Amino acid sequence: MASSRPARALPTALGVSFLWLCAAIAWVLWATPADEALGIVQKIFYIHVGSAFAMLLCLVAASGAAAVDLLSPSPPVDAFGRACTEVGLLFALVVLTSGPLWARKSWGAWWTWEPRLTLTLLATLLAAAVLAVRAMAGSAGGRRIGNALAVLAGPTSYLIHIAVQKWGGTHPQVIQGGGIQSPAMRVAFWACVAGLLGVAFALVALRARTLRLADCLAALQLDRQAATLRQQRAAMAGATDGQWAVS
């Protein structure tokens, strides 16, 4: 009874977070004013920035989990790291999709190789490489190599955060730079951030549980195959002994 509660709670948490996010997006579309300079295109930031927060948190958590699993292998930690990597990659794709839509209106170009954008692309490629290695390589070797790559995601995510301060660039600073002035915009912005982070955390927890259950199922299947093989060998040995007895 107690073990079934997390199984029900996680989808419920995901559903509640998703409904919150939908309500926040509806609020952004119909209740917040448009930016004087960019117009309605500015509303992309309500999703873009929150997705970037979720991406950074997931990739930093994946990096930490990978480091722990390299030092002391643990199936739950590994499942958590894989889940963070997958969800981080998902939100990274949202960031890389929504960002150019704003850039085309603001900069006149879909993409520029400025520091924050370049580092975001690098972090996305790292996350994709981790999952590709885990999928193609052997279970033990792929796990170690994937974790080694995932460790790099933490420093890369930190560099994304400080890129504008350290190396300049044209990327706007929505939080520190005072990019959102209207009180109505600020409330809607943080509502979207809360919804996106809630969805991200629920997805990580649900995916980690799914991966752990898949690992347990695979282990049970191996045990069953080994037991079946032992029974077959025992039956063959018994048949051979019976033939010798008849002889």
128-168, pLDDT tens digit by residue? 999 999 888 667 778 888 888 899 888 888 788 776 666 55
Q: Is the pLDDT of residue 198 over 90?
A: yes
φ, ψ of residue 35 to 5 degrees: the values are -70, 140
Per the listing, tokens 């998902």 go with 90
| Three-state secondary structure call for residue 228 | helix
Q: 214-240, pLDDT tens digit by residue? A: 878 877 777 777 777 777 777 776 666
Between these two residues, 22 and 43, which has the higher pLDDT value? 22
Q: What is the DSSP letter of 180?
A: -
Strand-pair partners of 39: 35
Q: 65-94, pLDDT tens digit by residue? A: 999 999 998 889 999 999 999 999 999 999
> d(Cα 180, Cα 212) in Å, to the nearest integer?
41
User: What are the residue boundaries of the structural domains of the chain, listed by start?
Assistant: 4-213
Percent share of the chain, pLDDT over 90? 35
Q: Could you count the other beta carbons within 10 Å of the beta carbon of residue 151?
A: 20
| Three-state secondary structure call for residue 39 | strand
Which residues, including other chains, have CB under 8 Å from residue 195's CB and lie 6 or more apart? 17, 18, 20, 21, 22, 23, 24, 25, 50
Q: 73: closest CA among 6, 139, 156, 131?
A: 139
- How high is the mean pLDDT of the chain? 82
Contact call for residues 43 and 31 (beta carbons, < 8 A):
no
Q: Could you count the other beta carbons within 10 Å of the beta carbon of residue 173?
A: 11
> What is residue 2's predicted lDDT score, i.e. its pLDDT?
46
φ, ψ of residue 194 to 5 degrees: the values are -60, -45
Which residues, including other chains, have CB under 8 Å from residue 16's CB and lie 6 or more apart? 198
Contact call for residues 93 and 124 (beta carbons, < 8 A):
yes
Q: Is the pLDDT of residue 45 over 90?
A: no
φ, ψ of residue 39 to 5 degrees: the values are 75, -145
Q: What is the DSSP letter of 34?
A: P
Angle at 200 (CA atoms; ends 195, 203), nearest 5 degrees: 125
Q: Please, where are the H alpha helices in 44-177?
A: 44-71, 75-106, 115-136, 139-151, 153-167
> d(Cα 56, Cα 91) in Å, to the nearest integer?
9
